[in-house]
Amino acid sequence: MTDKTVSMYWELLNLCEDFLDSGYLTEHGRAPSLPGLQPLKTGDAGHRTAKLEELHETILECTACGLYEGRNLTVPGEGVTEPVVFVIGEGPGADEDRTGRPFVGKAGRYLDKWLDAIGLSRNTNCFIGNIVKCRPPGNRDPLPDESSACLPYLQKQVELLRPKVILSLGRIATQILTKRTEGITALRGKTYRFMDLPLIPTYHPSGVLRNPEYRAPVWDDLKRLEALLHE
Ligand code: SF4
């Protein structure tokens, strides 16, 4: 696909998003029904799948921080077990808490379009998760003790999934993974390391839905991610 074609595709996606913003909901816009894990039948994927399922069973029952008290469902994450990209957000929202799946609301549908624009999908080559696996009340930021309690689960997921690149979404996820304190506007545009893997930060899809001026920098970040995958 040429740069021009990709740019046209991206513009089309943004136009579609404008329709969604204005309340034009289509069947196409709804997230597909997916199981939590979709193994690829290569290498040690079977072993990895078993380990991930074991880990996710533990997460489902976890009471290690106060967030367990208000949750409906835990949201361990979903995708393939040999992802090229591990997409990491901050925490589940209301739709995710209700379904047990990550990024299934409006921001999630928007994220799926971003990924699709560069040939990525939770169905085929990505895994999507969050820093905390239970919804913070009222969608507040996770507290430091809550993210610290949950981080070992994410580290274990990264260890088992072994993605090529991590894409962090938004300020909270990026600050926690990079151990830095700047805002996302200052943090994005560079490549960091998490568990010895390259990490590219970008804005959170819900932030971009509220601030259309973030679309261009997001597209720059996605193109950098795509280039990194092809190195
Ligand atoms: S947020 Fe994480 S550490 Fe806290 S209860 Fe949920 S799974 Fe456990």
Superfamily of chain region 40-229: Uracil-DNA glycosylase-like domain (3.40.470.10)
User: Mean pLDDT score of the chain, rounded to an integer?
Assistant: 87
Please give the pLDDT value at position 8: 56
Cα–Cα distance measured from residue 67 to residue 83, given in angstroms and rounded to the nearest whole number: 28
Q: Is the pLDDT of residue 27 over 60?
A: no
Please give the pLDDT value at position 28: 28
> What's the CA-to-centroid distance between 139 and ligand 1, angstroms?
15
Among 139, 146, 151, residue to substitute to test ligand 1 (most atoms within 8 Å of Cβ): 146
Among 57, 60, 63, 68, residue to substitute to test ligand 1 (most atoms within 8 Å of Cβ): 68
| Residue spans per domain, the chain | 40-229
Give strand ranges (E) for the chain. 37-38, 78-80, 85-89, 126-130, 165-169, 192-194, 197-202
Dump the DSSP string for 88-127: EES---HHHHHHS-SS-SHHHHHHHHHHHHTT--TTTTEE
pLDDT above 70 covers a percentage of the chain that reads: 81
Are 88 and 168 within 8 A, CB to CB? yes
Residue nearest to atom 4 of ligand 1 (CA): 65
Q: What is the pTM of this model?
A: 0.85
> What's the CA-to-centroid distance between 133 and ligand 1, angstroms?
6
> What's the CA-to-centroid distance between 69 and ligand 1, angstroms?
10
Q: Is 56 in the pocket of ligand 1 (CB under 6 A)?
A: no
Among 56, 58, 60, 62, residue to substitute to test ligand 1 (most atoms within 8 Å of Cβ): 62
Residue nearest to atom 2 of ligand 1 (CA): 150
Task: Quick: pLDDT tens for 85-114.
Answer: 999 999 999 999 999 999 999 999 999 999
